[in-house]
């Protein structure tokens, strides 16, 4: 069975969706960069090992990345899942896990990378918004896309209402992507990734 470590910064709703879906991966640990992340308590209640690598305790991103890499390596994961992990990982960290780090982003990439995606989607007047599961590369939110889900943008939408509909899709497609990985149904073809 393939193994995984989940990285979180907050409540970890996508972490919960991954674990509860039982996609066929051994979730060995949940690691947070914030000691007070609510998701740590939930993970511990499930019997999953937890660790904290506080980014504030490190003087540089490189030092934090090195400490995070050591913590993750203790669990020898096949994959890392970023689930609301609010730190940008440097190339040195990403290179340790080539094509093995996944992220869930609340937009239809390549549209609206970075933060405030729902506000930006509303301001742009798009008719569709959504979520993307992609592999992580040093280019922020620009790695190969594995799966996306779209939701309509409604005339009465607020950031909160749109975010809620997108989050429901995140909770559906992230476990789906994890299941594909567990079943060996993901292939890279050059720079592209496909589900087979």
Q: Note the pLDDT tens digit of each residue in 80-92.
A: 999 999 999 999 9
Q: What is the pLDDT of residue 11?
A: 96
Q: What is the mean pLDDT of the chain?
A: 97
Q: How far apart are CA 123 and CA 126, in angstroms?
A: 8
Mean pLDDT of 164-193: 96
Mean pLDDT of 64-84: 98
How do residues 104-158 score in pLDDT, each as one tens digit? 999 999 999 999 999 999 999 999 999 999 999 999 999 999 999 999 999 999 9
Q: How far apart are CA 165 and CA 153, in angstroms?
A: 10
Q: At what angle do helices 13-21 and 38-45 cross, to 10 degrees?
A: 20
Active site residues: 105
Is pLDDT above 90 for 191? no
Q: What is the pLDDT of residue 189?
A: 93
The pTM (predicted TM-score) of the whole model is 0.97
Strands 79-82 and 49-52: unpaired
Q: Compute the residue count for the chain.
A: 196
Is pLDDT above 90 for 66? yes
Mean pLDDT of 57-84: 97
Q: What is the pLDDT of residue 107?
A: 98
């Amino acid at each position: 069975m393939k193994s995984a470590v989940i990285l979180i910064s907050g409540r970890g709703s996508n972490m919960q969706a991954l674990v509860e879906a039982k996609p066929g991966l051994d979730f060995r640990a949940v690691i947070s960069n914030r000691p007070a992340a609510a998701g740590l308590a939930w993970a511990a209640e499930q019997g999953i090992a937890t660790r904290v690598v506080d980014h504030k305790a490190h003087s540089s991103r490189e030092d934090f990345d090195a400490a995070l890499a050591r913590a993750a390596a203790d669990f020898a994961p096949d994959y890392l899942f970023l689930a609301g992990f609010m730190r940008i990982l440097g190339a040195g960290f990403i290179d340790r896990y080539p094509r093995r780090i996944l992220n869930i982003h609340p937009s239809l990439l390549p549209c609206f990378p970075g933060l405030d995606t729902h506000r930006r989607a509303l301001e742009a007047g798009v008719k569709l918004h959504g979520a993307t599961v992609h592999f992580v590369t040093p280019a922020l939110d620009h790695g190969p896309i594995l799966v996306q889900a779209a939701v309509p943008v409604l005339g009465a939408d607020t950031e909160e209402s749109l975010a809620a509909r997108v989050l429901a899709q995140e909770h559906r497609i992230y476990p789906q992507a994890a299941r594909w990985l567990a079943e060996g149904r993901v292939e890279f073809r050059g720079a592209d990734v496909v589900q087979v």
